Amino acid sequence: MSEFKQTFNSSLGKKLIMALTGLFLCTFLIVHLGGNLLLFKDDQGFAFNSYANFLTHFPPIEVIAYILYISIIVHAVYALVLTIKNRRARPVGYAVQPKSDASWSSKNMGLLGSILLLFIVIHMSDFWFVYKYDHVLKFKEYRTDLATNVTTVGEYVPQVAEFERSISTENNVEIVRVKDIHARVQESFSKLWYVAFYVIAMGAVAFHLLHGFQSAFRTLGWVHRKYQPIVYFFGTWFFGVIIPLGFAAMPVVYFIQSLSK
Partner 1 sequence: MNLTLKVWRQKNSQTAGKFVTYKAEGISEDMSFLEMLDVVNESLTKKNDEPIYFDHDCREGICGSCSLYINGHPHGPKKAITTCQLHMRTFKDGETITIEPWRSAAFPVIKDLGTDRSAFDRIQQAGGFISVNTGGAQDANAILIPKVVADEAFNSATCIGCGACVAACKNASAMLFVSAKITQLGLLPQGQPERYSRVQAMVAQMDEEGFGNCTNTGACEAECPKEITLTNIARMNNDFFSAKLFREEGVHDHVGGE
Binding residues for partner 1, rule: CB under 8 A, are 3, 6-7, 10-16, 82, 85-86, 88-103, 106-107, 109, 211, 214-215, 217-223, 225
Q: How many CB atoms lie within 10 A of CB 150?
A: 10
Minimum Å gap between C-beta 76 and partner 1 is 15
* Residue of 199, 150, 196 lying closest to 173 (CA atoms): 150
Residue 155 CB, shortest distance to partner 1, in Å, is 51
Closest CB to partner 1 among residues 71, 219: 219
CB of 69 to partner 1, least distance (A): 24
Nearer to partner 1 among residue 99 and residue 261 (C-beta): 99
Select 188 or 215, whichever has its Cβ closest to partner 1.
Answer: 215
User: In sequence order, which residues have a C-beta less than 8 Å from that of residue 118 and are 6 or more positions away?
Assistant: 201
CB of 31 to partner 1, least distance (A): 26
Measured from the Cβ of residue 15, the count of other Cβ atoms closer than 10 Å reads: 17
In the complex, least distance from residue 114 CB atom to partner 1, rounded to whole angstroms: 15
Which residues are CB-contacts of 246 (< 8 A; sequence separation ≥ 6)? Answer: 33, 36, 37
Q: Which lies closer to partner 1 via its Cβ, residue 109 or residue 206?
A: 109
Specify the residue, 88 or 261, whose C-beta has the smaller distance to partner 1: 88
Burial of 201 (0-12, 13-18, 19+ CB in 10 A): buried
Shorter beta-carbon distance to partner 1: residue 7 or 125: 7
Buried b (16+ CB within 10 A) or exposed e, 47-57: bbbbbbbebbe
Are the beta carbons of 20 and 73 closer than 8 angstroms?
no
Side by side, which strands form the sheet with 150-156?
150-156, 139-145, 173-179, 166-170
38: which DSSP letter? G
Q: How far is the CB of 230 from partner 1 (least distance, A)?
A: 15
Element counts in the chain: helices (H) and strands (E): 11, 4
